[in-house]
Amino acid sequence: MERTGIQQSRPTGGQRARFNVLRWSVYAAALLVVIAWAFILLDGNSGFGDLFRERTWQNAGGFIASLAGQGSDGPSPFVQAARWRDTGRLALNTLAMSILAMGIAGAGALVLLMPGARNVSDGTLGGAPSRTGALVYGAVRILYTLTRAIPELVWAMLIVFFLSPGIIPGALALGIHNLGIVGRLTSEVVENLDPAPARALRAAGASSPKVLLYGVFPQALPMFLTFLMYRWEVVIRTTVVVGFLNAGGLGREFRLRMSWFHYEDVALLLVWYLLLVIAVDILSAQLRRRVRWD
């Protein structure tokens, strides 16, 4: 059922059908929005009414004030070099976790890049179509769907069950989830490649692995790295969340300080978090610009 590309591109009668898909989807989405909000608001405990109570805003103001250090006893962690050093170490662990996660996702996607692309498995890019190729293609696609559909945090919940706390389980959870995302995007890039250069290499006597190496990898690699960088920006934000589950780094500390009501420490951790996010955003933008090499 994946092989219906030719039928889909047939223009006859498509205009009307396309229009209806769009129109009904918009209607359905609007209806879904109304039902969802009705369901949430009609439940007495939605908290919607609280938005208009002064108490709520007073509480929020009090929380922000305590983040800023109001009402805490002892010197602020912001003026203690030791606290900066300790939390800085956690921030570096978080950064390392994000890089390892990208390494896991990247290595996996790179290995599965070829079998996961339809035009490689069916021989369009040179090479012979084979039953094994089709089977492996299907398996890789199912793997991508599963890893992508289950969020990082759920992966982490499962993984901390077997692995001891530290940055490895967090990196693994993030890596598995992002493997599905990066892998699918990259396979789509390979599937949209112009097959002519690969066929020309085939005609020059290159065997299938050589065609992939010279004709497919160099073309897919820039987009692959770009996706990886984009995902890194998301992953650095999520490492903290995965860290909530005893997976090390800033997240674990954040959760602990939160439950101890050490809001000033929470503020310090948030500063590190934001510094990491900004640094990775800038680095990723710079690297992405470098990757555009033609």
Partner 1 sequence: MSFRRLQSWLTGPRLLTLGIVCALAWSLSRVDWQQPIAHTGGGAAALKVLLALFPPDLTPEFLSICVVASWHTLAYAVAGMSLAVALGLPLGILASGVLAVSSDGHNPRRWTLMVAVRFLLAAMRSVHELVWALLFVAAVGLSPMAAILAMAIPYAGILGRIYAEQLQVAPPEPIAALRTTGASPLRVLLYGYIPMALPDLLSYTFYRLECGIRAAAIMSFVGIDGIGFQIELSLADLLFRQVWTLLIFLVVLVVAVDWWSSRVRRSMAY
Partner 2 sequence: MSAVRPVRTGEQVATPEPLITIKSAAKVYGNNRGLSPLNLAIHAGERVALVGPSGSGKTTLLRLLAGALVPDEGPNSVSINGKSPANLKPGRELASLVGIVSQRFDLVPHLPVMHNVLAGRLGHWSLARSILSLVWPMERRAAQQALARVGIADKINERPGRLSGGEQQRVAIARMMMQSPLVVLADEPVASLDPARAEEGMALLVGLVHSDLGHANGDGRSSERALIASLHTASLIRRHFTRVVGLRDSRVHFDLPAGELDDAVLDELYDLGDGYGDVEPLAGLAARDG
Residues that bind partner 2 (CB under 8 A): 126, 194, 196-207, 209-210, 213-215, 218-219, 221-222, 293-294
What is the rounded distance in angstroms from the CA atom of residue 251 to the CA atom of residue 254?
5
Q: Tokens 């510094």 sit at which residue?
A: 275
Give me 32's structure tokens: 């879904």
Is 143 a binding residue for partner 1 by CB under 8 A? The answer is: no
Amino acid at 69: G
Residues 239-258 that bind partner 1 (CB under 8 A): 240-241, 244, 254-255, 258
Shortest distance, CB of residue 123 to partner 1, whole angstroms? Answer: 26
Instruction: Show the binding pattern over residues 39-78: x = contacts partner 1 (CB under 8 A), - = does not.
Output: xx--x-xxxx-xx----x--xx--xx--------------
The smaller minimum CB distance to partner 1, of residues 127 and 173, is found at 173
Other residues' Cβ atoms within 10 Å of the Cβ of residue 270: 15
The secondary structure of residue 11, as a DSSP letter, is -
What is the rounded distance in angstroms from the CA atom of residue 149 to the CA atom of residue 147?
6
| Interface with partner 1 (CB under 8 A), residue from 134, 136, 168, 271 | 168
| Interface with partner 1 (CB under 8 A), residue from 69, 83, 84, 166 | 166
Identify the CA nearest to 177 among candidates 140, 135, 222, 231. 231
The smaller minimum CB distance to partner 2, of residues 69 and 197, is found at 197
Is 204 a binding residue for partner 1 by CB under 8 A? The answer is: no
The site that binds partner 1 (CB under 8 A) totals a number of residues, namely 73
What is the rounded distance in angstroms from the CA atom of residue 24 to the CA atom of residue 21?
5
